[in-house]
């Protein structure tokens, strides 16, 4: 009970911490005095939250001793948090350790992912030389793709070189990333003109962004933009306006995780948990509000070929519906609600591909506002949140 009370106090203090004030030093002092790893994690997370977006911040008193202790310890999360904070405090050794971890192919993907995130946040110039190697690692590929949009002075050449061999979700991540800066968008347009990237590879919401950025040159290569129906557009406006309310900002991502698990986790994987029927959302463009709302409110507006509903009827009159995850001359592997189904091609009597996804419409219309706000807050997290205790 005492630990829970300490964690509660930590969360309150962490919510008001700011660089250069006494609360930062108090958090460091409290962390040094505590032997409870959970309390220390909460304190360091609070410090990171208060320092979000900042660089070269003067280290609070006692940080050097605490950092050395944490880095020498055997708690991987505390080491990662200390490494990330150290970079914010301008610690060159912390940056070098993060780069070494990023290069270490034997390290756990989650640890390398955290190192990449911290290096990008601090705009470390050493990252650019590591990205192509990360593109060859399937577990880190999406993270590496997204990083191209955050590293200045690096072009799209490496991404476009590997683009043909990427999976559907990875190609979409490339397109979304290249649409984040005009110089990268210019390279994307050149790839479209060379037919390396096809119009069908460009999601509708990204096409609208590229049109505003590149004008008629883009629409000439892409074609006419599709428009949403009036009723779906109104729903998008409604839910987007709701997310501007103060209640949305106060939503609990832990509660959102529970909502997600119930409604979305059957089909979608996120942070290594969930189903395989729909795309893995971990590396998707979840920071973009329009992306999230479009895929929930109007899931059939812009369905990639790899996620269109496929119906197979076998010679024994079995009917299977799902998405194709794998196919060769002998078999079709179908992801279904109940799991993975391997179907021999000789047993297939009829095959139909529908221009719709497996995701149902109208999910938000029966959802309580509290659940909606929490779900969106959870979907926009950058790392797994703790489970709700309620």
Q: Mean pLDDT lowest for which of 27-31, 272-276, 337-341, 380-384?
A: 337-341
Position 46 pLDDT exceeds 80: yes
> Are residues 280 and 368 both part of a single domain?
yes
Q: Please give the model's pTM, rounded to 2 decimal places.
A: 0.70
The percent of residues above 70 in pLDDT, for the chain, comes to: 93
> Are residues 191 and 317 both part of a single domain?
no
Of 10-14, 22-26, 36-40, give the range with the top mean pLDDT.
Answer: 36-40
5 within a domain of the structure (yes/no): no
CA distance 63 to 84: 13
- Residue 327 corresponds to which tokens in the numbers above? 């196919």
Position 390 pLDDT exceeds 70: no
Position 135 pLDDT exceeds 50: yes
Query: Are the beta carbons of 239 and 297 closer than 8 angstroms?
Result: yes
Q: For residue 2, what pLDDT is reported?
A: 47
> Are residues 288 and 371 both part of a single domain?
yes
> Are residues 243 and 222 both part of a single domain?
no
56 within a domain of the structure (yes/no): no
Q: For residue 349, what pLDDT is reported?
A: 92
CATH number of the structural domain spanning residue 297: 1.10.760
Q: What is the mean pLDDT of the chain?
A: 86
Position 281 pLDDT exceeds 50: yes
CA distance 262 to 368: 14
- Residue 52 corresponds to which tokens in the numbers above? 């979000």
CATH number of the structural domain spanning residue 346: 2.30.30.100
> Are residues 175 and 315 both part of a single domain?
no
Domain that holds residue 203: 155-226
Helix (H, G, I), strand (E, B) or coil at 85: helix
Tens of pLDDT, residues 326-380: 889 999 998 887 778 899 999 999 999 988 887 888 889 889 999 999 999 999 9
The confidence band for 5, taking pLDDT boundaries of 50, 70 and 90, is: very low
Tens of pLDDT, residues 90-118: 888 888 989 999 999 999 998 899 899 88
Cβ-in-10-Å burial (0-12, 13-18, 19+) of 317 comes to: exposed
Q: Which residue has the higher pLDDT, 109 or 10?
A: 109
CA distance 71 to 79: 5
Query: Are the beta carbons of 256 and 375 closer than 8 angstroms?
Result: yes
């Amino acid at each position: 009970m005492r630990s829970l009370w300490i964690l509660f106090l930590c969360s309150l203090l962490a919510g008001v911490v700011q660089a250069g004030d006494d609360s930062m030093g108090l958090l460091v002092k409290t962390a040094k005095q505590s032997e409870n790893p959970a309390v220390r994690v909460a304190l360091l997370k609070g410090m990171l939250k208060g320092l979000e977006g900042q660089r070269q911040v003067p280290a609070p008193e006692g940080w050097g001793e605490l950092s050395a202790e944490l880095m020498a310890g055997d708690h991987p999360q505390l080491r990662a948090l200390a490494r990330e904070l150290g970079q914010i405090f301008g610690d060159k050794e912390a940056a070098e350790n993060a780069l070494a971890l990023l290069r270490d192919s034997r390290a756990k993907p989650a640890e390398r992912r955290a190192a990449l995130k911290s290096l990008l946040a601090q705009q470390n110039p050493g990252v650019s030389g590591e990205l192509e190697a990360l593109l060859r690692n399937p577990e880190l590929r999406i993270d590496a793709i997204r990083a191209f949009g955050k590293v200045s002075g690096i072009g799209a050449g490496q991404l476009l070189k590997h683009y043909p061999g990427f999976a559907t979700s990875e190609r979409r991540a490339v397109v979304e990333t290249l649409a984040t800066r005009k110089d990268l968008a210019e390279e994307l347009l050149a790839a479209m003109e060379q037919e390396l990237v096809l119009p069908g590879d460009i999601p509708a919401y990204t096409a609208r962004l590229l049109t505003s950025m590149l004008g008629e040159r883009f629409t000439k290569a892409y074609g006419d933009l599709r428009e949403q129906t009036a009723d779906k557009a109104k729903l998008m406006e409604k839910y987007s306006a709701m997310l501007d309310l103060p209640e949305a900002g106060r939503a609990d991502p832990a509660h959102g995780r529970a909502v997600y698990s119930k409604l979305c986790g059957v089909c979608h994987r996120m942070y290594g948990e969930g189903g395989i029927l729909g795309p893995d959302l971990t590396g998707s463009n979840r920071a973009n509000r329009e992306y999230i709302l479009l895929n929930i409110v109007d899931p059939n507006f812009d369905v990639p070929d790899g996620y269109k509903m496929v119906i197979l009827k076998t010679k024994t009159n079995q009917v299977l519906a799902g998405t194709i995850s794998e196919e060769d001359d002998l078999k079709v592997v179908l992801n279904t609600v109940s799991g993975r189904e391997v179907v021999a091609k000789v047993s297939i009597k009829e095959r139909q591909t529908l221009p719709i996804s497996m995701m149902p419409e109208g999910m938000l219309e029966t959802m309580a506002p509290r659940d909606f706000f929490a779900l969106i807050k959870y979907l926009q997290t950058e790392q797994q949140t703790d489970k709700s205790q309620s």
